[in-house]
Amino acid sequence: MTDGFRWQEVFSGADSAMINDDRLVQDKELARQMYWDSTTELRRKKLMPFFWNVIAEKGQLYGNRSLDNKVSMLNVFKISYPGYNEILTGYADPVLIPNIPLNNQNTNILEFLNNGARFSGKVVVFGSWNVFPFIINAKRSSIPVNSGYQANDDTTDSTNIIIDRLQQEVSHKSNTRHDQLTFCSAKEYISKNHPSVVFIGFGETDESAHAGRYDLYLQHASEVDHMIAELWYRIQTDPIYKDHTTLIITTDHGRGQTAASWHKHGIFTKGSGQTWLACIGAGVTASGEMKQEGQIYGRQIAATIGQLLGVQFQTDRPMGKAIQLATAPSDTELDKKSDIVGRVK
């Protein structure tokens, strides 16, 4: 997940009004060289090449409202904690959970999996925002959570030692650490431990937007695309994960729709409930960008994760139904498969 990243940039690339605004971009000429092009298709590829060169070919992309394909959050608050809660628990809690360190009382899909025999001890969370241990309720769920500028648990690993030293050198720490540090910690853990279920939450897209820096917002979005590309390459070159792994990529909330409101989100900011979803990997039909009219919701993602892993996620809360990411084969495709099987035999 990448916090507060708008569907507008995912599907259209850089916004012309904002990339040319001196108040939002420090060097307009350089920003245009990096992220601008003549068409929507070229701009979005320039900003997020992995999304549009790989996921658009091998996976699925939902949420282009220009085509009436919609992804929405149903919680009324449209801020981060309620958004992460909705996605991970399948429940759009009507009670406000503020963006502060309060333990989540709702059961999430990661906890559900960790409590089952099949995935016990094989679930892990890495997040840039230091509130993730409370969103996940790490104390109750017993899931390892590394977030904020928290040191890595494995202090014998040379890479982790370097990461921790770098974290200590960051002079102006905030509640959200640099996403690259989060990603480095996650990569090292994945390579060494091969967990079955990993949640990674990036945060600098939201931080730069709140600061009113559209240039940095684009830069961090581009970096997220590159990190996801690297993660996917590692997955597909690791015999344990190759062709058995699914990536689900989304955001916790949208943002305002204009140059005057894009830096904000919340109950009173139009567009804050508009999000997007990208998927690639096992169990995902290669359908590309969804161009037909449709509507899915953030609360459906938890059940979708369960379905992909072959478990039925259940709690005492009402939740959304799983998204059908795999298309049933046509009769022609079944005939072809039958013919191939017959010839192989």
Domains contained in the chain, CATH given: 7-344 (3.40.720.10)
185 in Cβ contact with 163 (< 8 Å): yes
pLDDT score for 71: 98
In the predicted structure, residue 327 carries a pLDDT above the cut 80:
no
Q: What is the pLDDT of residues 71-96, one digit of tens each?
A: 999 999 999 999 999 999 999 999 99
pLDDT score for 302: 98
* Phi, psi (deg, nearest 5) at residue 77: -90, -35
Contacts of 249 (CB under 8 A, 6+ apart): 1, 2, 55, 228, 277, 278, 279
Q: Summarize the confidence of residues 127-134 as an average pLDDT.
A: 98
What's the CA gap between 325 and 65, in Å, rounded? 19
pLDDT score for 156: 82
pLDDT score for 157: 81
In the predicted structure, residue 336 carries a pLDDT above the cut 70:
no
pTM: 0.93
In the predicted structure, residue 345 carries a pLDDT above the cut 50:
no
Q: What percent of the residues of the chain are helix, what percent strand, and what percent coil, each to the nearest 5? A: 40, 10, 45
In the predicted structure, residue 6 carries a pLDDT above the cut 50:
yes
pLDDT score for 333: 45
* pLDDT above 90: percentage of residues in the chain: 91
Q: How confident is the model at residue 338 (pLDDT cuts 50, 70, 90)?
A: very low
Q: What is the pLDDT of residues 167-205, one digit of tens each?
A: 999 999 999 999 999 999 999 999 999 999 999 999 999
Grouping H, G, I as helix, E, B as strand and the rest as coil, residue 306 is helix
Give the count of beta carbons closer than 10 Å to the beta carbon of residue 293.
Answer: 9
Q: Summarize the confidence of residues 89-115 as an average pLDDT.
A: 97
Q: Summarize the confidence of residues 240-256 as an average pLDDT.
A: 98
pLDDT score for 221: 98
pLDDT score for 151: 93
Instruction: Determine the distance from the C-alpha atom of residue 75 to the mean position of all C-alpha atoms in its chain, rounded to a whole number.
Output: 18
Q: How confident is the model at residue 339 (pLDDT cuts 50, 70, 90)?
A: very low
Q: Summarize the confidence of residues 205-232 as an average pLDDT.
A: 98
Q: Summarize the confidence of residues 237-241 as an average pLDDT.
A: 98
Q: Summarize the confidence of residues 199-228 as an average pLDDT.
A: 98
Q: How confident is the model at residue 155 (pLDDT cuts 50, 70, 90)?
A: confident
> Residue 38: left if φ>0, alpha if ψ -120 to 50, beta else—which one?
alpha
Residue with tokens 């010839």: 343
15 in Cβ contact with 8 (< 8 Å): yes
72 in Cβ contact with 268 (< 8 Å): no
Token digits for 289? Answer: 């960008």
pLDDT score for 154: 81
* pLDDT above 70: percentage of residues in the chain: 95
